[in-house]
Amino acid sequence: MSHSCKPIGIFDSGAGGLSVLSELLRLMPKEHYIYFADTANCPYGPKPHSDIIKLVDAITKFLLQKNCKLIVVACNTATAAAIDYLRANYPIPFVGMEPAIKPASQNTKTKSIGVLATAGTFKGRLYIETSRKYASDVNVCYQVGEGLVELVETGKANSPEAEELLHRYVDPMIDCNIDHLVLGCTHYPFLKPVLNKILPANVKVIDPSPAVVLQTQRILHTNNLECVKEGNDTFTEVDFYSSGQINVLRQLLENNIEVDLPINVSYTDNVVLRHNL
Protein backbone atom coordinates (compact mmCIF):
# COMPACT_ATOMS: atom_id res chain seq x y z
CA MET A 1 0.00 0.00 0.00
CA SER A 2 1.39 3.42 -0.95
CA HIS A 3 1.77 5.89 1.89
CA SER A 4 -0.84 8.24 0.40
CA CYS A 5 -3.47 5.50 0.11
CA LYS A 6 -3.21 4.41 3.71
CA PRO A 7 -6.50 4.88 5.58
CA ILE A 8 -7.79 7.93 7.41
CA GLY A 9 -8.70 7.11 10.99
CA ILE A 10 -11.80 8.58 12.62
CA PHE A 11 -12.98 8.01 16.16
CA ASP A 12 -15.73 9.11 18.50
CA SER A 13 -17.20 7.98 21.80
CA GLY A 14 -19.91 6.31 19.72
CA ALA A 15 -21.89 6.93 16.56
CA GLY A 16 -21.74 10.74 16.62
CA GLY A 17 -18.65 10.90 14.43
CA LEU A 18 -20.72 9.51 11.57
CA SER A 19 -21.84 13.12 11.03
CA VAL A 20 -18.18 13.91 10.25
CA LEU A 21 -17.65 10.73 8.24
CA SER A 22 -20.66 11.63 6.09
CA GLU A 23 -18.97 14.90 5.09
CA LEU A 24 -15.63 13.17 4.52
CA LEU A 25 -17.27 10.66 2.19
CA ARG A 26 -19.04 13.45 0.32
CA LEU A 27 -15.87 15.47 -0.22
CA MET A 28 -13.28 12.68 -0.50
CA PRO A 29 -15.07 9.50 -1.56
CA LYS A 30 -11.96 7.75 -2.90
CA GLU A 31 -10.18 7.58 0.46
CA HIS A 32 -10.11 4.52 2.69
CA TYR A 33 -11.60 5.19 6.15
CA ILE A 34 -11.37 3.34 9.45
CA TYR A 35 -13.97 4.41 12.00
CA PHE A 36 -13.72 3.49 15.67
CA ALA A 37 -16.70 3.90 18.00
CA ASP A 38 -15.87 3.60 21.69
CA THR A 39 -19.41 2.50 22.43
CA ALA A 40 -18.46 0.59 25.58
CA ASN A 41 -17.29 3.84 27.21
CA CYS A 42 -19.89 6.23 25.78
CA PRO A 43 -20.67 8.98 26.71
CA TYR A 44 -17.38 10.84 27.20
CA GLY A 45 -19.00 14.11 28.33
CA PRO A 46 -19.17 13.49 32.10
CA LYS A 47 -15.77 11.76 32.32
CA PRO A 48 -12.64 13.47 33.74
CA HIS A 49 -10.14 14.60 31.10
CA SER A 50 -7.53 12.20 32.52
CA ASP A 51 -9.81 9.22 31.84
CA ILE A 52 -10.59 10.42 28.32
CA ILE A 53 -6.89 10.77 27.51
CA LYS A 54 -6.36 7.12 28.50
CA LEU A 55 -9.24 5.97 26.28
CA VAL A 56 -8.16 8.14 23.35
CA ASP A 57 -4.55 6.98 23.64
CA ALA A 58 -5.65 3.35 23.35
CA ILE A 59 -7.83 4.12 20.33
CA THR A 60 -4.99 6.01 18.66
CA LYS A 61 -2.63 3.06 19.13
CA PHE A 62 -5.27 0.80 17.57
CA LEU A 63 -5.66 3.08 14.54
CA LEU A 64 -1.90 3.38 14.10
CA GLN A 65 -1.69 -0.43 14.05
CA LYS A 66 -4.09 -0.17 11.10
CA ASN A 67 -1.57 2.14 9.33
CA CYS A 68 -3.67 5.29 9.46
CA LYS A 69 -1.95 8.31 7.87
CA LEU A 70 -4.11 10.92 9.63
CA ILE A 71 -6.63 10.76 12.47
CA VAL A 72 -9.78 12.83 12.79
CA VAL A 73 -10.87 13.20 16.41
CA ALA A 74 -14.57 13.33 15.53
CA CYS A 75 -15.63 14.06 19.10
CA ASN A 76 -15.77 17.51 20.68
CA THR A 77 -15.19 16.19 24.20
CA ALA A 78 -12.20 14.06 23.15
CA THR A 79 -10.77 17.01 21.24
CA ALA A 80 -11.11 19.26 24.28
CA ALA A 81 -9.49 16.70 26.58
CA ALA A 82 -6.82 15.10 24.44
CA ILE A 83 -5.92 16.86 21.17
CA ASP A 84 -2.87 18.58 22.69
CA TYR A 85 -1.71 15.27 24.18
CA LEU A 86 -2.12 13.45 20.86
CA ARG A 87 -0.22 16.06 18.86
CA ALA A 88 2.60 16.06 21.39
CA ASN A 89 2.98 12.28 21.50
CA TYR A 90 2.33 10.99 17.98
CA PRO A 91 3.97 11.98 14.66
CA ILE A 92 0.97 11.87 12.33
CA PRO A 93 -1.48 14.78 11.78
CA PHE A 94 -4.58 15.03 13.97
CA VAL A 95 -7.69 17.05 13.11
CA GLY A 96 -10.00 17.96 15.97
CA MET A 97 -13.45 19.43 16.30
CA GLU A 98 -13.30 23.23 16.48
CA PRO A 99 -16.06 24.98 18.44
CA ALA A 100 -18.04 26.95 15.84
CA ILE A 101 -18.28 30.03 18.05
CA LYS A 102 -16.49 32.23 15.51
CA PRO A 103 -18.98 32.05 12.59
CA ALA A 104 -21.95 32.29 14.95
CA SER A 105 -20.53 35.36 16.71
CA GLN A 106 -19.55 37.06 13.46
CA ASN A 107 -22.90 36.52 11.73
CA THR A 108 -25.41 37.05 14.52
CA LYS A 109 -27.84 39.92 13.98
CA THR A 110 -29.41 39.71 17.43
CA LYS A 111 -26.02 39.62 19.22
CA SER A 112 -27.20 36.48 20.98
CA ILE A 113 -26.17 32.90 20.16
CA GLY A 114 -26.78 29.50 21.70
CA VAL A 115 -24.26 26.72 22.27
CA LEU A 116 -25.36 23.15 22.99
CA ALA A 117 -22.45 20.92 24.01
CA THR A 118 -21.18 18.39 26.52
CA ALA A 119 -19.75 19.36 29.90
CA GLY A 120 -16.30 18.20 28.76
CA THR A 121 -16.39 20.48 25.72
CA PHE A 122 -17.27 23.56 27.77
CA LYS A 123 -14.29 22.86 30.06
CA GLY A 124 -11.83 22.51 27.17
CA ARG A 125 -9.13 25.01 26.20
CA LEU A 126 -10.42 25.38 22.64
CA TYR A 127 -13.91 26.39 23.69
CA ILE A 128 -12.68 28.81 26.36
CA GLU A 129 -10.11 30.46 24.08
CA THR A 130 -12.47 30.71 21.11
CA SER A 131 -15.22 32.21 23.25
CA ARG A 132 -12.88 34.83 24.70
CA LYS A 133 -11.50 35.71 21.29
CA TYR A 134 -14.67 35.90 19.20
CA ALA A 135 -17.67 36.14 21.54
CA SER A 136 -16.65 38.82 24.00
CA ASP A 137 -19.30 41.23 22.69
CA VAL A 138 -22.00 38.60 22.16
CA ASN A 139 -24.51 37.12 24.60
CA VAL A 140 -23.76 33.39 24.69
CA CYS A 141 -26.52 31.14 26.02
CA TYR A 142 -24.89 27.79 26.71
CA GLN A 143 -26.40 24.51 27.77
CA VAL A 144 -24.98 21.10 28.63
CA GLY A 145 -26.91 18.59 26.53
CA GLU A 146 -27.11 15.92 29.21
CA GLY A 147 -28.87 12.81 27.94
CA LEU A 148 -28.79 13.71 24.23
CA VAL A 149 -25.87 11.46 23.33
CA GLU A 150 -27.60 8.52 24.97
CA LEU A 151 -30.76 9.13 22.91
CA VAL A 152 -28.77 9.10 19.67
CA GLU A 153 -26.83 6.00 20.74
CA THR A 154 -30.05 4.12 21.44
CA GLY A 155 -31.68 5.08 18.14
CA LYS A 156 -34.07 7.63 19.68
CA ALA A 157 -32.88 10.81 17.94
CA ASN A 158 -36.35 11.46 16.51
CA SER A 159 -38.33 10.29 19.52
CA PRO A 160 -40.80 12.19 21.74
CA GLU A 161 -38.19 11.93 24.51
CA ALA A 162 -35.66 13.77 22.32
CA GLU A 163 -38.18 16.49 21.50
CA GLU A 164 -39.10 16.95 25.15
CA LEU A 165 -35.46 17.18 26.23
CA LEU A 166 -34.52 19.57 23.43
CA HIS A 167 -37.42 21.83 24.31
CA ARG A 168 -36.09 21.99 27.86
CA TYR A 169 -32.62 22.94 26.62
CA VAL A 170 -33.46 25.18 23.68
CA ASP A 171 -36.56 27.09 24.83
CA PRO A 172 -34.54 29.28 27.25
CA MET A 173 -32.18 30.10 24.37
CA ILE A 174 -35.13 31.15 22.23
CA ASP A 175 -36.22 33.40 25.07
CA CYS A 176 -32.73 34.95 24.90
CA ASN A 177 -33.38 35.87 21.23
CA ILE A 178 -30.65 33.69 19.72
CA ASP A 179 -30.37 33.56 15.95
CA HIS A 180 -27.59 30.93 15.78
CA LEU A 181 -27.36 27.59 17.58
CA VAL A 182 -23.91 25.99 17.66
CA LEU A 183 -23.87 22.20 17.90
CA GLY A 184 -20.90 21.35 20.12
CA CYS A 185 -21.12 17.56 19.89
CA THR A 186 -20.90 15.34 16.81
CA HIS A 187 -23.95 13.38 18.00
CA TYR A 188 -26.16 16.46 17.85
CA PRO A 189 -26.52 16.78 14.03
CA PHE A 190 -28.65 13.64 14.21
CA LEU A 191 -31.08 15.74 16.26
CA LYS A 192 -31.42 18.42 13.57
CA PRO A 193 -34.84 17.22 12.32
CA VAL A 194 -36.26 17.77 15.82
CA LEU A 195 -34.33 21.03 16.29
CA ASN A 196 -35.68 22.37 12.99
CA LYS A 197 -39.15 21.51 14.20
CA ILE A 198 -38.92 23.45 17.46
CA LEU A 199 -36.61 26.35 16.54
CA PRO A 200 -37.92 29.61 15.01
CA ALA A 201 -37.22 29.95 11.30
CA ASN A 202 -34.64 32.70 11.85
CA VAL A 203 -32.35 30.49 13.99
CA LYS A 204 -29.51 28.95 12.00
CA VAL A 205 -28.14 25.65 13.25
CA ILE A 206 -24.35 25.43 12.86
CA ASP A 207 -22.73 22.03 12.38
CA PRO A 208 -18.90 22.29 12.46
CA SER A 209 -18.39 19.08 10.46
CA PRO A 210 -17.99 20.69 6.99
CA ALA A 211 -15.27 23.05 8.25
CA VAL A 212 -13.44 20.16 9.94
CA VAL A 213 -13.54 18.13 6.74
CA LEU A 214 -12.16 21.04 4.70
CA GLN A 215 -9.28 21.27 7.19
CA THR A 216 -8.68 17.54 6.75
CA GLN A 217 -8.55 17.96 2.99
CA ARG A 218 -6.09 20.87 3.31
CA ILE A 219 -3.75 18.84 5.53
CA LEU A 220 -3.84 15.86 3.18
CA HIS A 221 -3.06 18.10 0.22
CA THR A 222 -0.26 19.98 2.00
CA ASN A 223 1.41 16.74 3.08
CA ASN A 224 0.93 14.90 -0.24
CA LEU A 225 -1.30 12.34 1.47
CA GLU A 226 -4.30 12.37 -0.87
CA CYS A 227 -5.16 8.94 -2.22
CA VAL A 228 -5.20 8.74 -6.02
CA LYS A 229 -7.09 5.81 -7.53
CA GLU A 230 -6.91 5.16 -11.23
CA GLY A 231 -8.86 3.15 -13.76
CA ASN A 232 -11.64 0.98 -12.37
CA ASP A 233 -10.26 1.18 -8.84
CA THR A 234 -12.88 3.74 -7.81
CA PHE A 235 -14.82 2.75 -4.73
CA THR A 236 -15.19 3.86 -1.14
CA GLU A 237 -13.86 1.59 1.59
CA VAL A 238 -14.94 1.98 5.23
CA ASP A 239 -14.03 -0.36 8.07
CA PHE A 240 -16.06 0.06 11.28
CA TYR A 241 -14.82 -1.05 14.67
CA SER A 242 -16.58 -0.71 18.02
CA SER A 243 -15.63 -1.46 21.60
CA GLY A 244 -19.26 -2.49 22.16
CA GLN A 245 -22.27 -3.41 20.04
CA ILE A 246 -22.41 -2.02 16.52
CA ASN A 247 -26.16 -2.22 15.81
CA VAL A 248 -27.00 1.51 16.19
CA LEU A 249 -23.85 2.46 14.29
CA ARG A 250 -24.94 0.30 11.39
CA GLN A 251 -28.49 1.69 11.50
CA LEU A 252 -27.34 5.32 11.53
CA LEU A 253 -24.92 4.62 8.70
CA GLU A 254 -27.56 3.05 6.51
CA ASN A 255 -30.11 5.80 7.17
CA ASN A 256 -27.89 8.89 7.03
CA ILE A 257 -24.88 8.38 4.76
CA GLU A 258 -24.99 8.44 0.98
CA VAL A 259 -21.99 8.32 -1.36
CA ASP A 260 -21.70 8.62 -5.13
CA LEU A 261 -19.28 5.71 -5.50
CA PRO A 262 -19.82 2.05 -4.57
CA ILE A 263 -18.99 1.51 -0.90
CA ASN A 264 -17.35 -1.53 0.67
CA VAL A 265 -18.20 -1.74 4.37
CA SER A 266 -16.99 -4.10 7.08
CA TYR A 267 -18.05 -4.26 10.75
CA THR A 268 -16.20 -5.55 13.80
CA ASP A 269 -17.66 -5.15 17.29
CA ASN A 270 -16.57 -5.81 20.87
CA VAL A 271 -12.97 -4.78 20.19
CA VAL A 272 -10.90 -4.88 23.40
CA LEU A 273 -8.56 -1.90 23.87
CA ARG A 274 -5.74 -1.67 26.38
CA HIS A 275 -3.88 1.40 27.54
CA ASN A 276 -0.66 1.75 29.51
CA LEU A 277 -0.96 5.33 30.78
Residue 235 has a CB neighbour count (10 Å cut-off) of: 14
Instruction: Indicate which residue of 42, 68, 185, 227 is catalytic.
Output: 185
Phi/psi-derived region of residue 81, left when phi > 0, alpha when psi is between -120 and 50, beta in every other case: alpha
Return the sign of the alpha-carbon dihedral for residues 260, 263, 267, 271.
Answer: negative
State the burial class of residue 160 (Cβ atoms within 10 Å of its Cβ: 0-12, 13-18, 19+). exposed
42 is an active site residue:
no
75 is an active site residue:
yes
| DSSP-derived secondary structure for 113-151 | EEEEE-HHHHTSHHHHHHHHHH-TTSEEEEEE-TTHHHH
CB-based contact 152:187 (threshold 8 Å): yes
**Host H or E run for residue 198:** helix 192-198
Angle subtended at Cα 17 by Cα 264 and Cα 246, rounded to the nearest 5 degrees:
60
Mark 44-59 as b/e (b = at least 16 C-beta within 10 Å).
bbebebeebbbbbbbb
Instruction: Indicate which residue of 75, 141, 176, 227 is catalytic.
Output: 75
- Active site amino acids: 75, 185
